[in-house]
Amino acid sequence: MLTVHHLGISQSERIVWLCEELGLDYALKLYERRADNRLAPDEYKALHPMGIAPVITDGELVLGESGAICEYICARYGGGRLTPGPDDPDFADHLFWFHWSNGTFMTTLMMQLVLNAGGEGNPAAVFVGDRARRGWAVAEARLGEAPFFGGRELTTADIMLVYCLTTSRAFRGASLEGYPNLQAYLQRIGARPAYQRAMAKAEPGMAPMLA
């Protein structure tokens, strides 16, 4: 049985949403963050050597890393859905945004969060802050060109990126003011029944951060 191990307010919400979009039969196990430091509990850290979310189990398999999990689930259970093939005109765009999400954007946002905790004036924080601003700008520009990051239809590029635009902002207080394309996009995502089901299951006490 495919089991999604979801740590509250974390990237693993992506995997819940993916399973809902694909209409899969899966089990969901929820883990609350520790009250003292808001990190994952020991039970979650014990699932995988990295000790971070997301993690899935599938029989004897234990797999971490958002992108790897998305590819595994789509290849094994998705029947080609949400992943344009090489002959699809959106193939290259899908690949770029799918990998850009954690390879560049989320990494930059995490660095910004850590560096900003050290106070203002840090040259590294200035560099990362500029990189983050460019990231938000290219995401905004992309959604002026296409309805979804991957192109004409929802793909796993969107599954990967929406967390960066929504729930991750809970840690930084970032605003979407000045990003009308992103705001309109998130309203479209929020209207999707699969997204609504996923967030109700993954974060039952938290309204999705769609604005």
- Exposure string for 172-197, b = 16+ CB within 10 A, e = fewer: eebebeebeebbebbeebbeeebbee
Share the mean pLDDT of the chain. 94
| Helices (H), ranges, 61-176 | 66-77, 91-100, 106-116, 123-142, 156-165
- pLDDT tens digits for range 63-94: 999 999 999 999 999 999 999 999 999 999 99
Share of the chain above pLDDT 70, in %: 98
pLDDT band at 123 (very low <50, low <70, confident <90, very high): confident
Domain that holds residue 55: 2-82+196-202
Claim to verify: residue 151 and residue 174 sit in the same structural domain: yes
Is the pLDDT reported for residue 169 higher than 80? yes
Claim to verify: residue 158 and residue 175 sit in the same structural domain: yes
- pLDDT tens digits for range 26-43: 999 999 999 898 889 999
Give a yes or no: residue 41 inside a domain: yes
The pTM assigned to this predicted structure is: 0.94
Q: State the Rg of the chain over Cα.
A: 17
Give a yes or no: residue 207 inside a domain: no
